[in-house]
A and B are shown apart, each in its own frame.
Chain A
Amino acid sequence: MLILITALLLFLTALAVVILQIMRPEFRFTWLTAVGGTLLAWISVLLWQANMPLSFSVLPWKPANLFSESPAFSAETIIWPYALSLVTLAVSILLTASVNETFTSAFVWAGSLTLCGLGLLAVTAANPLTLALVWAALDLTELIIMLRSVNDSTSSERIVISFSTRAAGIGLLVWANVVTAASGKSLSFLTTPPQVGLYLLIASGLRLGVLPLHLPYSAESTLRRGFGTTLRLVSAASSLALLAHIPASSLASPLTPLLLILAAIAGIYGGWMWLRAPDELIGRPFWMIGLASLAIAAALLGNPTGTVAWGTALILIGGALFLASVQQVWISRALLVGAFSLSALPFSLTASGWQGNVSGFWYIMPFPLIAQALLMTGFIRSALRPSTRASLESLPIWARGIYPVGIGLLFFAQILLGIWGWNGALQIGTWEAGFVASLLTFGLLWAIPRFPALNPVPAHWVQPSSASRLDRLYQNLWIIYRWLERLSKTVSDILEGDSGIMWTLIFLVLFISLMTQGKP
């Protein structure tokens, strides 16, 4: 029931904000209402710990003989960090909105809260059916928001491609359900059968843009800090949570090394592009690909706890950086807490990131570690980068007090989760991996001023739409598609032409003779 209370607090606060904005646009306490409701939701998530595990079922689907599973939600200790991260993000977005240019737009706050509520439902989904429903809701919401935010046809096309990729992820999830049903069982996250582990992993990887590597969105100029950050991070969290439900035993497949290599390539690509991004918002998609690939690598290493570590790092560390829109020395320094959280060193948020069957894949392990180092270096540089942003001192006194709390809450959550988060928290972890990644990071930080190749590229160079091997692959697929289209048109023309009736009757006779073949 607590899950429902938290989600309802977010949705009802969003609704209240919208109603207030429409009915009483001059009302001065709309923002306070939003913050109050969200803080209550945050406290309610903390209260989950008192009653773990939690579960909550919606009305069962009928007829009962057709639907062995109905929409249901559950929260175990492994999922709780995601829930806390999402609600913390919601609070932080509202608190940091006090310094944003979109501060007066209550609809943006309502949108952010709704998205966080949907994200919360996604991470607490108890079975693939529920997750598919919430993913679909998130995808449709994102589709509408993104289509409204762009003007040109090329961007619209990219949004549709992104939507279809995510829909393919939903398709794989449903297919996993079908494969389980074939063996007469029902698929629940409590009892994930071994034969569907890879489907679930690829479904998540597809939605995250890691398997196969793709980056559909460009600079996202109109959806930048607050709302854009919510949209991207909630969407990622909803997909990452699935990885925590994949048992290690179900990923023991001959395909595992290949998938691990692909995830490592995606991680290095994401890390490299993140390192060279001219600013953190342009680099945001690469940050997400980089960390998502580390989470996928952890899942492939048989380490569900590690996926949660990298997943929460993506939301909390990324959230702090992307929401930091005001220049202040102490905030910039405090952002470096994120570098420690990302290091996989003992007692950090990601300390459990490199556990699992690391020694079994020793020959692949250097690549995810390189990716991690690139991401850490890029993060440190973004945190300390001097910018033209407004300084905190130039803001009203109340904003000067509230804004650091918004960012600080994300640091607090990182430390809290590192100590208390889940069964894998407060541990030394595979410290050697964290040590190697940290050394590499220091090496890269030393090399940056000395090697121009490591410096940021101008903003207009960072275009995911530029021609690449991947684009050529898609072009070849398009050629095949056009060929099939011509073939189908030819068949249609024959069947719908003057001789169509004769052809259909011939097909019919053929069909009947095939069906009765060998029968008396």
Chain B
Amino acid sequence: MSAPFIWIFLPLIIGGLSLFITRERLATIVGGVTAILLTGAALIVPIDEALGFGSFSIKVASSFQILGRNLTLDAAEAPLLTILFGVAALWFIGAESVGVARRLTPFGLIIISLLVASIAVQPFLYAALLIELAILVAVPLLSPLDQIPGRGVIRFLIYQTLGMPFILIAGWLSAGVEASPGDLALTIQSTMMLGLGFAFLLAVFPLYNWIPLLMEESSPYIVGFLLWLLPTVTSILVMSFLDRYVWLRTSAQVISALRVAGLLMIVTGGIWTAFQRHFGRMMAFAAVAETGFILLALSLDPVTGLPIIFLLLIPRGLGLALWALSLSVLDSNTKSLHFSSVQGMARTYPLASAGLILSALSTAGFPLLAGFPPRLALWNGLSQQSLSMAFWLLIGILGLAAGAVRMLAVIVMADEKTVWASKESWAQRGMLGIGMIGLFILGLFPQAANSILDKLPLMFQHLGH
């Protein structure tokens, strides 16, 4: 038994088999239970250490060889697996209440296993290929086989695929840089290629126009799942690159580019959120800003920046899940998510509306909600580097807050005849309630997840030490 088998091949196989499931409830149970069991395993099962049961003991090896390549998941990666599968469990369990479990469970499990493989693969250059595979699997998830793919899906595929060759070339050039560190031209070329590759994968400004398009034409819940998962794993890969190559993490230009890109994403994402008239597009731009927060944290001194990135992970996953679930509940009960269609729905769908507003406020860093502690830490850290940069962050956050307030204004603006009633199903109420309580718990007690988060820096040998 090996760790890659448990956290890569097992979900891959279960995902593949669940393609044949025809009932929503069963798909939810399979997806949810698998993710919960894998989360529990990541918490309990020690990797590369003997686990004794009386006279019987087993050892979960960290490596697995396939096609001449190594897949390695050691003990340091266990907290990340806990977070990934733990948050995924929320997505899978919530999928039934919005009727997408039969699509999300199989493809979601396959995508997660491929992305975990991208973190585990050695040489890690192959990560780009595994991410590309995950993106290809995401296409039928976004656009069912009997449906013509829209412009958003095509653009998603184009932009994400364009990232792969750049990363492959960068990896090839990086080997040359390591061999001859003094070759400045090679270093610049390699950095450029890497930057471009990750810019496409992370949908850095202005390469994110597929996100709002996707939110308009696909299920908000499924797009939300991808917007949570893909940037999270890609950010870990960026950190792996920075950890591996000393010339990257010590380059002032790289740090500066990360900071500018992060701020651009937050500012443009925030401002665009404030001016949208479609709830789905608002979530899209807020998700862009969320990725910007990670890049910005990455540009700080690693001792400060790394814990902030990890602190961002769970609130980001929870916030997007709640936002997507709320949007899906509203979406399934109205013509579209345009302002004119959703106006006044707070009276008939109060919990979904509350979930929507709280997750939007959390993204904007409203105190008491999960997004606040990491944003405060990020803001304080950035202000110590530059107060003007902190001011730009303020602009972005103001945009996000303005978007949340606009959303609130529209959704509560009902006519006098509409009476208050909760039309959500019990399953929806339960999931929305859990999400909202989670946002408040993490907002008041950010230390709640500290036992998992404080081990995450061990994944990296140089960053954060």
Contacts and interface: CB of A to CB of B under 8 A. Distances in A.
A515 B271 contact: no
Nearest to A491: B272
B416 A488 contact: no
Contacts of B376: 67, 129, 174, 177
Contacts of A136: 366-369
A181 B376 CA distance: 10
A428 interface: no
Contact of A178 (B307, B383, B413, B444): B383
A156 B414 contact: yes
A159 B367 CA distance: 19
B260 A515 contact: yes
A133 B346 contact: no
Contact of B401 (A65, A132, A167): A167
A101 interface: no
A448 to B, nearest CB: 39
Interface stretch (B28-36, B170-178, B204-212): B204-212
Nearest to A500: B209
A59 B413 CA distance: 39
Contacts of A167: 366, 401, 405
B76 interface: no
B99 interface: no
Q: What secondary structure prevails in chain A residues at the interface with B?
A: helix
Contacts, number: 149
A157 B413 contact: yes
B184 A66 contact: no
A135 B151 CA distance: 44
Q: How large is the interface on B (under 10, 10 to 19, 20 to 34, 35 or more residues)?
A: 35 or more
Interface in A168-182: 170-171, 174-175, 177-179, 181-182
A488 B368 contact: no
B319 interface: no
A65 B207 contact: no
A63 B450 contact: yes
A156 B272 CA distance: 25
B296 to A, nearest CB: 14
Interface in B345-388: 346, 365-369, 373, 376-377, 379-381, 383-384, 387
Contacts of A71: 444
Contact of A485 (B151, B275, B366, B394): B275
A163 to B, nearest CB: 7
Contacts of B420: 148
B304 A181 contact: no
A496 interface: yes
Contact of B379 (A178, A184, A495, A503): A178
Interface residues of A, number: 59
A140 B444 CA distance: 15
Contacts of B195: 512
A156 B377 contact: no
Interface in A464-515: 484-485, 488-489, 492, 495-496, 500-501, 503-504, 507-508, 511-512, 515
A65 B304 contact: yes
A154 to B, nearest CB: 9
B367 A132 contact: yes
A66 B412 contact: no
B209 A488 contact: no
Nearest to A184: B384
A177 B253 CA distance: 29
Contacts of B311: 63, 66
Contact of B253 (A62, A178, A515): A515
Interface in B377-409: 377, 379-381, 383-384, 387, 390, 394, 397-398, 401, 405, 408-409
Closest 6 CB pairs of A and B: A181-B380, A62-B447, A182-B383, A136-B367, A66-B377, A136-B368
16 contacts: A65-B303, A66-B311, A66-B381, A136-B369, A156-B414, A159-B412, A160-B409, A167-B366, A167-B405, A179-B383, A181-B383, A182-B383, A492-B272, A507-B206, A511-B206, A516-B192
